[in-house]
Amino acid sequence: MEDYLCEAISQACSNCHLDGGCCFEARPPLSQERIDILIKNGVAESAVEFAGYKRLRLKQDGFCVLFLDGKCSIHSIKPETCVAGPFTFDIKDNVLQIFLKRENICPMVRFLKANRKAYDGLFETSVEKIMHLIKNTPASEMAEILKIEEPDTDLVAEIPLSD
């Protein structure tokens, strides 16, 4: 994605973080590869927990353990689903379903809908990151991840998964 689009999306994201946004009660799933990247970059192993799947812990206040001073402290290496932002996923009958959160959940959606280039760029990046997560997560953990309900979303794409 082009630098100016990344900057615009980051700005939309940081404005939302003033209210907590998606970092509140967030438990993003982690592949072992992502855990290794986080630890290599100074994140404590204690930031990760296993509760059906590997994920980041929450602090006592309900925010992600890596949410500090109103922003993500690991923005450049954050988990795949955090990169995907307002795009989320499910898998049904070997088809990857991509959903977009509604504006009442994620204010960035308004920006994305108004800027097709930003939407397409983030969509492409999101699908890439989600596919990476799926391929690098044990099936038993992915089954637990897929149990997580994502309210207020709209289906925007279906992508057949190869075996």
Q: Dihedral sign, CA of 29, 32, 38, 42? A: positive
The one-letter amino acid code at 106 reads C
Amino acid residing at 66:
L
pLDDT of 58: 95
pLDDT at 75: 82
φ, ψ for residue 68 (rounded to 5)?
-130, 140
pLDDT at 1 over 90: no
pLDDT in tens, 54-72: 999 999 999 999 988 888 8
Choose between 74 and 163: higher pLDDT: 74
Q: Is 93 or 2 the better-scoring residue by pLDDT?
A: 93
Supply the mean pLDDT for the chain.
88
Residue 23: per-residue pLDDT: 80
CB 1 within 8 A of CB 125: yes
Exposure string (b/e) for 10-24, b if CB count within 10 Å is 16 or more? eebbeebbeebbbbe
